[in-house]
Amino acid sequence: MSLALHPTTLSLPSRATRQPGMATPAAPARDVSGNVLESTEILRGQKAVEINHNGLTYRLQATRLGKLILTK
């Protein structure tokens, strides 16, 4: 499976506009060329995809609440 990578821009609220107690967002995951991968690019309209990594197969699944689950 080959993914077409497109540069994207991610805009986050400044620290001053975040609500108290709100977690600081983690840095987005980047591919080897430095581009951010959007979950929609990986899932391509599906609820789940399988990812082969180091000889093992993992399942990346989107939940109804918009979260991602990665299982072995």
SS3 at position 42? helix
Cβ atoms of residues 28 and 67 within 8 Å:
no
pLDDT-flagged residues of the chain (< 70): 1-31
* Residue 8 to residue 6: CA distance in whole angstroms: 6
In a domain, 33, yes or no: yes
Domain range for 35 is 29-71
Could you tell me which residues come within 8 angstroms of residue 30 by beta carbon, excluding any fewer than 6 positions away? Answer: 36, 37
Residue 46 lies in a domain: yes
Predicted TM-score (pTM) of the model is 0.52
Residue 58 located in a structural domain: yes
Express each pLDDT in 52-71 by its tens digit.
999 999 999 999 999 999 99
- Domains: count for the chain: 1
What CATH number does the domain containing 37 carry?
A: 2.10.70.10
3 lies in some domain: no
Identify the pLDDT of residue 27: 65
- Whether the CB-CB separation of 58 and 29 falls below 8 Å is answered with no
